[in-house]
Amino acid sequence: MLVANRSELEALRAALGDRSFDLVLDAILYRPDDARAALDLFQGRVWQRYVFISTDFVYGGEPRHFPLDEDAPREALSGYGRNKAACEDVFFAAWEQEQFPATILRPPHILGAGGQLGTGSREGRDPWLLWRLRNGQPICLLEGGALLIQPVHKTDIARACLAVATSEATRGRAYNIAGPDCVTTQRYYELVAGLIGAPLTVLSLPSGAYVAAFPDNAPFAQNRAYSTTRLKNDSGFSPTIRLADALAEVVADLDAKGVPPGEPPQTETPLAASLREREAAVETLLRADAR
C-alpha cells in the first residue's frame, strides 16, 4: 500500500517511486492544478488507462435535450461543477497533445452501502432521513419532487471503470455513467419510505427560491436524466443495478448502524410550516377561481 497526500506533490512523487501502473482510478480530483500535477506525475507511468471520476454537475446551459448526452453544454452551475469541468479540459488537452490515456466518467447521484440517502430536497444527503420518515416528518422536495434523477450504484461505476480501461475507443473521451432507472425525486423517496413501511408527506419547495438562497446548489434544481448509449457503444458496458435494489442496500446499511449521534431534527421546521401555509393559501385561491 502506498500512502501519500496528493496536495504534497513531492511526497507523492517519492511514494510512487519508479512504479508504473496498468490502471489509475482518480475518484477525488476536483482542482485543475491537481489535474495538471497528476499529468506530471503519471505521464509515461500509465500503460492502460487513467480514469477520472468527474460529475454530472459539469452540465448546464441551453439547449438541454433529454436524456442529456455527453455533447450537452458544459456551462456548469456550481463551483464544484466548474472545477470538475476544468479538470476534464486538462485531460482532454493531454490526450490531444500528448496521447495521455485518460477516460472521464460523469456519474450523477451515487448509491451504495456506506453512503447517505437524499437528493433534490432541502436537506440533500440526510443522515436523519429514515428517522424523519418513521416519525412522520414532511420532506421538502424541490418542485414537489417532480424533478428527474437517475442514480447509479457504486458497483456499476467500478464495472464501468474496468470496461473503459480495456477499450481503445474510450481513450480521450467522456461518458455518462447513470443507472438504468430514471425517476422523479418523489418516486425516489416513495421507494425509500416503502422499504421501511413509513408514510411519505411531501411539501413543495420552489426551486427559484432555493437557488436564490443557495446558488451553488443550482444543479440539484435541474432534471438529471442521461443517455448512456455512448458508454455502451464504446465499451460494451451498461449499468444494470436497479434503483430499488440500490436503495434497499443503503437502507439496510443505515438501519444496521442505527440512529445518527446527536439531537434529532425538529418535528416541524419553520420552513415546513411556511410551505404548508403557502400550499393552503394557493389551494384556497384556486378553489375560489373554480367557482
| Distances in whole angstroms, Cα of residue 71 to Cα of each of 75, 169, 198 | 12, 17, 41
Residue pair 132/198 in contact (Cβ under 8 Å)? The answer is no
Give me the pLDDT at residue 6, please: 86
CA distance 13 to 79: 28
pLDDT band at residue 67 under the 50/70/90 scheme: very high
Cβ-in-10-Å burial (0-12, 13-18, 19+) of 149 comes to buried
Q: What is the pLDDT of residues 181-239, one digit of tens each?
A: 999 999 999 999 999 999 999 999 999 999 999 999 999 999 999 999 999 999 999 99
* Ramachandran bin of 144, using left for φ above 0, alpha for ψ from -120 to 50, beta for the remaining angles: left
pLDDT band at residue 152 under the 50/70/90 scheme: very high
Number of other residues whose CB lies within 10 A of the CB of residue 2:
8
Cβ-in-10-Å burial (0-12, 13-18, 19+) of 93 comes to middle
Give me the pLDDT at residue 63, please: 87
Give me the pLDDT at residue 267, please: 67
Residue pair 203/272 in contact (Cβ under 8 Å)? The answer is yes
Q: In percent, how much of the chain has pLDDT > 70?
A: 99
Shortest CA distance to 113 belongs to which of 258, 262, 256?
A: 256
Q: Using alpha carbons only, what angle is made at residue 239 by residues 20 and 152, rounded to the nearest 5 degrees?
A: 90
CB-based burial, 42-75: b 16+ in 10 Å, e otherwise = beeebeebbbbbbbbbbbbeeeeeebbebebebe
What's the topology of domain 9-290? Rossmann fold (3.40.50)
Give me the pLDDT at residue 205, please: 96
Q: What is the pLDDT of residues 224-280, one digit of tens each?
A: 999 999 999 999 999 999 999 999 999 999 999 998 988 888 766 889 999 999 989
Phi, psi (degrees; rounded to nearest 5) at 263? -80, 140
pLDDT band at residue 291 under the 50/70/90 scheme: confident
Across 79-106, average pLDDT: 98
At 199, the amino acid letter reads: P
pTM, entire model: 0.95
Q: What is the mean pLDDT of the chain?
A: 95
